[in-house]
Amino acid sequence: MSWFYLILAGLFEMLGVVLINTFNQQKNAKNLILMFAGFGFSFLFLTLAMNELPMGTAYAVWTGIGAAGGTILSMIFYREAKDWKRLVCIGLIISATIGLKLIGE
């Protein structure tokens, strides 16, 4: 269950990052509340995951999901560059994240 919580934490982290951009484009209370909710749920699920997972592993996987996911979402929705160097780096982040899962808790 802790890995499920960790994945949820990473997905809410991605949502929070996208909502930062949304808030920067349209500064209103709704976007601010949504942004804080995204990050709030991210921290909540990270905390639940860390009840069973080591802090170093949990934090690395959480930031990996957030960084890779945020970059991929920005490429899709905000038309950021999709050059091969960025894609290789995202692949490295994803590979390292999977590696941390495979070598154990």
Which tens digits make up the pLDDT trace of 32-61?
A: 999 999 999 999 999 999 999 999 999 999
Spatial CA neighbour of 74 closest among 62, 87, 61? 87
pLDDT score, position 102: 85
Res 32: pLDDT: 97
Task: Find out whether 45 and 6 touch, Cβ atoms under 8 Å.
Answer: yes
Q: Which residues in the chain come in under a pLDDT of 50?
A: none
Could you give the CA distance from residue 14 to residue 67 in angstroms, rounded to a whole number? 8
Provide the pLDDT for residue 97: 85
For residue 80, the number of C-alpha atoms closer than 13 Å in the C-beta half-sphere is 14
